[in-house]
Structure 1
């Protein structure tokens, strides 16, 4: 007899509901026929009766079965009739398709944050409202007209924003480019999505850092790509590993976050940068450089991107406002050869006919305003303060149970728990106690690692939040 798969990500009750619906559609249970009782079915399938109640509730909501007190549960006559008729099984459609859902841990974190607004948030990778330039943007919006034209714009993005980015990239990132080599996107993730969908093919092998934020993005698997890992140490990736992966797997592209890497905070060593570009040029291998955190360098000296020292054009450069200004603007950019920009602009136009002009105009005004540099200075100061609060709390609450390297920029602190713990148990216990974080396994690491993001929580929440985490960890270890 069929049994539900307890190792599946699909809930047991949903598996059971789907199986009963199949058996009804195959005629095993004709319209009006009596179904086994909840208790009997629970015994047959070796599950709790509450699971069967949930499965019957799902089928009852679809009108497939009906229950009457004293008469048991029967297949609906009105739903099926002499000739069975179906309402589309939207659950199966939602489970299908080639675009995979987010990882279970990330869905659980999102669900917990939506359900409990009081959770102290060390999980969300975005700036808190007090770190965003809200007042400055409000002033700019009151002083400028952003609604003079609201039609479709150039598929590459708003021209004035691309022109401002040429100046910004030259001044702040030492990257020399032109507006025709810039594609505006709705953030770094859309840039990555366009690259994986348009420049690569199913079955292609690509290299990502280990651990890596890319590992948490199902878009790579959805595109049918094979992922191979480049270990990250305190100096970043080792260039010789790229040559090794190329020989073994013929990798087609390398995805890197060399400055204050997410999640480890590592900074790619200057010597390794040169060696890495040499390897890439030797192999004709493109590098996708995701650079969201450089301007958050706490000492104000932003590390140079690979793109700035790329002599032959091996690097596709991705940037975003999300980590330095406001994630809600949904403005990012890519610097790439003209042929790549044209290809991706065409694909993006098929998706959405281009981005909203209004946030692009706001971003362009903010970049050229006298508010931008003071905002960066204030952002760095506050991030450094929050980082130090987090480190002080960890050293006070868990001096012997966590190990970490202090980052010099970015929004994250990467911690190793000593000894190893079960990620799921620790996350659930932490949520129960009022704090949330991202388990390291989301980024491809072994269990027992934790990423704390200190940009989202308020300064006065950081100490209490770590105290709650410490209590959860000690409860699990005991």
Structure 2
């Protein structure tokens, strides 16, 4: 994000004018398009509004922009005498295409996090810096000789990593698989993307949890997939709802996050698991099990995954290191029948010729070391402590204004508000008080819920963040 150089001898308003002029010349703002409002640009680059007003006046004096009361500041249609038809309208292209944009709430949250990196971040589903195993990974990289080939690798992924994952899945999660049934992906989202693009077609119907992970919902929309909700109750979804959706809409897949579901934190009840698997086998529809959180179980004893008790080959299993070790490595995996893996590997090779070997080698070396098990134990204890801090802060600051159920794993807490408020107004008021979170509406759920990440903010700032949220909520309820 560009910001003016405060140490420069050039006045800031002239720096801003030059920046905007360059953006116009590069086609970011084609003739006839509107510039950001003075207030919004001032907030974005960290200056007073009056400074942006001066910059826009400079551009008006050059004939580059025009302003009208109530409409805003627009790029001149005859800027520098060039007819607008000669310059591509990049905004028209940006607004086109088949890939859906993120929801406005999510774009606003990203914008806030870019502009204010010091804000208390209870929105991101990511570990805080002190929970990443940086030192352990550096140690492994120093001690283990790098012996991998630096050219294009196997489309399914680095074979030694698939070997390591096969053994790890069996020991830790009771999932029996082989190297040929594992595809290494760039995180869980790529696994989901490949499934949607290769195994489904536009117009197909699928069942998804409600509420459900917002990143998945956008991907379904982009792929033209029709989604039908499976309500998430205190003990997870009801298998009978799957049967109903199959009869009414002929759903072709079911997408579930059974352990510490995102965003609600609920776990599918053990008594529902085998009936669900038997039903799916009977109907002939696959279940995609997204399992990013089992290994965060605070006691190190997660519930059995659906894949571990799957006797019919019904479950496609997605896992990742992003939520348990290092999101920046971009290492995920998909466990599926080898014919499915080969189909998805072929598609992925067409996209990017496979993942970089370096993060795959790093992940393999780390997972094979004793450091990985030690890190998981440390992480589980740290997350349990952070959730306790969050719960105590909520009880102290908001009392019965919020309702929630503590989870046994995961990275966040799903909270219902006793009295409804405007989602956008509450978010903006919270931002003013130094904290950002995720409104429940982005997960496809009814209004009146928020998701608070306890994994991302430092433990020392959780209490401060909840104090700011409580102040914002009381301000709107006066």
Normalised by the size of structure 1, how large is the TM-score? 0.85
Cross-structure match for 2:146: 146
Cross-structure match for 2:122: 122
Does residue 1:274 correspond to 2:274, yes or no?
yes
C-alpha separation between the residues in 1 aligned to 2:67 and 2:116? 33
C-alpha separation between the residues in 2 aligned to 1:116 and 1:52? 25
Q: Among 17, 20, 25, which residue is 2:32 paired with?
A: 17
Describe the SS at the equivalent of 1:376.
helix
Please, which runs of 5 or more residues in structure 1 have no aligned partner?
Answer: 1-13, 20-33, 43-47, 67-75
Cross-structure match for 2:7: none
Aligned partners of 2:30 and 2:89 also within 8 Å = no
1:220-231 equivalences under 5 Å are 220-231=220-231
Does residue 1:370 correspond to 2:370, yes or no?
yes
Cross-structure match for 1:72: none
Displacement of 1:413 in angstroms is 0.3
Does residue 1:52 correspond to 2:72, yes or no?
yes
Displacement of 1:355 in angstroms is 0.3
Cross-structure match for 1:193: 193
Cα distance per residue 1:226-280 (max 9 Å; x no partner): 0100000110000000000000001010000000000000010001001110110
Does residue 1:111 correspond to 2:111, yes or no?
yes
Aligned partners of 1:285 and 1:314 also within 8 Å = yes
Cross-structure match for 1:233: 233
Cross-structure match for 1:359: 359
C-alpha separation between the residues in 2 aligned to 1:387 and 1:411? 8
1:337-416 equivalences under 5 Å are 337-416=337-416
Cα distance per residue 1:291-313 (max 9 Å; x no partner): 00001111111111100101010
C-alpha separation between the residues in 2 aligned to 1:388 and 1:252? 40
Displacement of 1:426 in angstroms is 0.4
Cross-structure match for 1:31: none
Cross-structure match for 1:79: 82
Cross-structure match for 1:28: none
Cα distance per residue 1:161-203 (max 9 Å; x no partner): 0000000000011011100000000000000011111110000
- Please say which structure displays the higher CA radius of gyration: 1
Describe the SS at the equivalent of 1:267.
coil
Moved beyond 4 Å, runs of 4+:
none
Cross-structure match for 1:310: 310
Describe the SS at the equivalent of 2:86.
coil
Cross-structure match for 2:298: 298
Cα distance per residue 1:139-158 (max 9 Å; x no partner): 01111233752110000000
Describe the SS at the equivalent of 1:114.
helix
Cross-structure match for 1:26: none
Cα distance per residue 1:382-407 (max 9 Å; x no partner): 00000000000000000021000111
Aligned partners of 2:126 and 2:327 also within 8 Å = yes
Does residue 1:65 correspond to 2:78, yes or no?
yes
- Could you say what the CA RMSD is over the residues aligned between the two structures, in angstroms? 2.0
Displacement of 1:137 in angstroms is 0.1
Cross-structure match for 2:264: 264
1:414-433 equivalences under 5 Å are 414-433=414-433
Normalised by the size of structure 2, how large is the TM-score? 0.85
Aligned partners of 2:183 and 2:335 also within 8 Å = yes
C-alpha separation between the residues in 1 aligned to 2:237 and 2:169? 25
Cα distance per residue 1:193-231 (max 9 Å; x no partner): 111111100000010001010565411101000010000
Cross-structure match for 2:23: none
Displacement of 1:16 in angstroms is 11
Does residue 1:208 correspond to 2:221, yes or no?
no
C-alpha separation between the residues in 1 aligned to 2:105 and 2:257? 22
C-alpha separation between the residues in 1 aligned to 2:232 and 2:30? 40
Cross-structure match for 2:10: none
Structure 1 pair 134–266 and aligned structure 2 pair: CA distance change class (3 A)? same
146-155 or 238-247, larger mean C-alpha shift? 146-155
Cross-structure match for 2:456: 456
Describe the SS at the equivalent of 1:266.
coil
Describe the SS at the equivalent of 1:241.
helix
Aligned partners of 1:215 and 1:442 also within 8 Å = no
Cross-structure match for 1:70: none
Structure 1 pair 199–212 and aligned structure 2 pair: CA distance change class (3 A)? same
Structure 1 pair 201–419 and aligned structure 2 pair: CA distance change class (3 A)? same
C-alpha separation between the residues in 1 aligned to 2:251 and 2:418? 35
Aligned partners of 2:182 and 2:341 also within 8 Å = yes
Structure 1 pair 184–148 and aligned structure 2 pair: CA distance change class (3 A)? closer
